[in-house]
Structure 1
């Protein structure tokens, strides 16, 4: 069991409980996630817009995508959610054991809010006592609960087979267009490489040919330029901008901004 004040992790199951609005730190989705919002709302932000998962909703988020998340507690209460991560090794083993035929590349929605389902709701209700009472979830039981989640998803909608069992990796895409659309996501170069269908070495080589700069140099300049525009032209506060453009903390953003532009962002 891994625990802090707001998150408890039992194997591949994550319980979140926060009493104030909180941005998620992870911006790259490594594995499929099945989630249930117990109270409050989850806002998932991508280049396509914002998808809101309200209290009581159950949803699926597909792997290999960039997004920003915001946990929003209800007035005077706490945000609570449960997420089960369905990793590729487990799904491959499940598909082999159940003789599921290979599927083609999935082309549907990357985030789905599922229709109400008493079986899925009951499944999540069965997990809550482990977190309310801090009971250790044994690995063997964790596997059974993950297996149960997959069974219930396929019972809910047999077409989810295509969502779950597409094991293909991202193919090589236009690097320039992708980076100009996604520079504001704070993820390592290795993740950008993966999402554009390249090895890290190939990504860096292609990147420098296109932008005449290293990924780190270009990302910093691109993020700072956007921040300058948002503050000077749109009148936004530095504290409201730095996370949106891809910086991790305000002090580092302010220091870097002043070093490049010769003036603190708060002085614009």
Structure 2
């Protein structure tokens, strides 16, 4: 799968960018040519649409981004959908967990935090925009229009201002809940990465990167928690998820195979029949008859 952060970092000619340490501020018109692409990001990202439209999808849900709308896309995988004959001009900010924790702790010094912050189920969260937040985004955009690059110190101040303004808006409770969760973790739990991303066709090195671990550490931590190997767990989880989709959705077998993390329909069908003693197409016909 395409790593969004790595792609932008390696193509500064397409993605105009400033860096603050490892964190990136990027201004670009999306070069996506295919209707649908699968992406993942081992950094958190905020997308603010300047013009155009784009759809980001996670599991069965979609978030449409149009002018002056913003999303927080937390670390993980998702699909991005192209709208025909419509460009997407965007201001994006990619930031790691350490920067997130730094901002959140500064926020805590100045604002009262709710006691009922529960981690959202979705990896994509809508940011409610008020005039102050909108102004913060456009003030960052202005640096891309100047001749000289601003200092990292100044950019960090502007990003800090933006994020604290987002956190301070009462409507952005889900954003505060996510920051609160990350702040409370020394390292992301394996389950947080796996349970939210198993249905995407990520390789083990990509899962390890999302979990911010080496391959060896990832496998060791995985086995401690799940008492099995990543390969066995992923196969069982994806097949169980596919069975659920066959029983509850109107999607065809090919769509369900891809939505469950399989890239080869024939391999999916053989694995499914071995696990459940019935083929996906037979189960679909049975469900239709029972209905």
Q: Which runs of no fewer than 5 residues in structure 2 stay unpaired?
A: 1-8, 273-291
Partner residue of 2:279?
none
Tell me, yes or no, if structure 1 residue 145 matches structure 2 residue 145. Answer: no
Contact 2:68 2:134 in 1 (8 A): no
Partner residue of 1:53?
64
How much has 1:200 moved relative to structure 2? 3.9
1:201 to 1:108, Cα distance in 2 relative to 1, 3 A: closer
CA deviation map 1:68-116 (0-9, x unaligned)? 131424x423122222234333344345556258966831545443344
CA deviation map 1:189-229 (0-9, x unaligned)? 436878xxx964141255454xxxx32355368758959x9
1:105 and 1:86 map into 2 onto residues whose CA distance is 25
1:260 and 1:162 map into 2 onto residues whose CA distance is 38
Q: TM-score, normalised by structure 1?
A: 0.62
Tell me, yes or no, if structure 1 residue 14 matches structure 2 residue 26. Answer: yes
Contact 1:43 1:71 in 2 (8 A): yes
2:132 and 2:236 map into 1 onto residues whose CA distance is 50
Contact 1:60 1:113 in 2 (8 A): yes
Q: TM-score, normalised by structure 2?
A: 0.58
Contact 1:35 1:82 in 2 (8 A): yes
Contact 1:24 1:68 in 2 (8 A): yes
1:72 to 1:151, Cα distance in 2 relative to 1, 3 A: same
- What RMSD over aligned residues (CA atoms) do the two structures have, in Å? 4.7
Tell me, yes or no, if structure 1 residue 34 matches structure 2 residue 46. Answer: yes
CA deviation map 1:131-160 (0-9, x unaligned)? 567964532232122112123214433855
> Number of aligned pairs?
237
Contact 1:34 1:58 in 2 (8 A): no
1:15 and 1:244 map into 2 onto residues whose CA distance is 31
Tell me, yes or no, if structure 1 residue 168 matches structure 2 residue 176. Answer: no
Contact 1:193 1:200 in 2 (8 A): no
3-state secondary structure, aligned to 1:36: strand
Equivalent of 1:190, from 200, 208, 212?
208
1:174 and 1:79 map into 2 onto residues whose CA distance is 30
3-state secondary structure, aligned to 1:107: coil
2:140 and 2:231 map into 1 onto residues whose CA distance is 42
